[in-house]
Amino acid sequence: MGAVLAGTLILMPSVEPSHAPQVLVLWDVDHTLIETRGVGYAIYQRAFPAATGRPLNTLAQVSGRTELDIMRETLRVNGIKPTDESTDKLATALINEYEKARDELATTGRALPGAAQTLQRLAAEPRVHQAVLTGNLRDVARIKLEVFGLDTLLDLRSSAYGDDHNERSKLVAVAQARASDHTGTAFDNQHTILIGDTPKDIEAGLTAGVRAIAVASGKSTAEELHAAGATIVVDNLTDPERITQLVTQRNTA
């Protein structure tokens, strides 16, 4: 991929062993922590013609998919060959439109109930290192989290994004490697938890071999999340203590 889609890994000093976290929590973004309430689709409608010179007639199904996958299919179903060049142009346009839409996003979208409080509670837990695993492009995820004031509670450098790989399950190893470089702790599958709201989030966690916690705060029901293989499903994030217990109960030294 081109420069827009190539993530840059920033290595930070290792954490002292006595203070090293024991568990890596990887958060999905859309419909788990925040919702755009239609702004995301509106941005695609503006970004697509900016990148291609054509109107957006059809948007690929987006739930639980990586942005690389979404962009390539969207280009294809609108009659444009999904080359690296055309995909890069669309990625650049999406990032630009999200930057311009910060106020629109803040006004129309929202952080989901309990999201900030749960992130704050886990941020105060020394055993936990919080990062992101999202299908969003790196810069789009950053903008969304900044708009709703959640970025400072998550280590975005230890995260994996939709421009790192087109398969969601492959993003787990990307995040583990980045978090290990940043903290000095080797996070194996037993000590990694993925939290998301779609069956594809759960499938990605199970395929990668990590624990998964489902949040029924998106379009998927608790029954659908259980059917996807989730053994733990919560309705929302309004009980930070329960989420903390679920995250740490199997990871105490």
Task: Please write the tens of the pLDDT for every residue from 24-44.
Answer: 999 999 999 999 999 999 999
Q: Please compute the mean of the pLDDT values over residues 43-49 and round it to a whole number.
A: 98
Looking at the chain, the number of H-run helices and the number of E-run strands are: 10, 7
| CATH node for 3-35+110-248 | 3.40.50.1000
Given a cut of 80, whether residue 14 has pLDDT beyond it is no
Beta strands per DSSP E along 81-230: 110-111, 128-132, 192-196, 211-215
How does residue 19 score in pLDDT terms, banded at 50, 70 and 90? low
- Per-residue pLDDT reduced to its tens digit, 194-203: 999 999 999 9
Say what percent of the chain tops pLDDT 70. Answer: 91
Range with lowest mean pLDDT among 1-5, 159-163, 206-210, 214-218 = 1-5
Dihedral pair phi/psi, residue 71, rounded to 5°: -65, -45
Neighbours of 197 (CB within 10 A): 27
| Domain locations along the chain | 3-35+110-248, 39-107
Q: Please compute the mean of the pLDDT values over residues 232-252 and round it to a whole number.
A: 91
Given a cut of 50, whether residue 166 has pLDDT beyond it is yes
- Per-residue pLDDT reduced to its tens digit, 72-94: 999 999 999 999 999 999 999 99
Determine the residue type at 195: I
Mean pLDDT of the chain: 92
Name every residue whose Cβ is closer than 8 Å to that of residue 229 and which is 6 or more positions away in sequence: 202, 203, 206, 212
Name every residue whose Cβ is closer than 8 Å to that of residue 186 and which is 6 or more positions away in sequence: 180
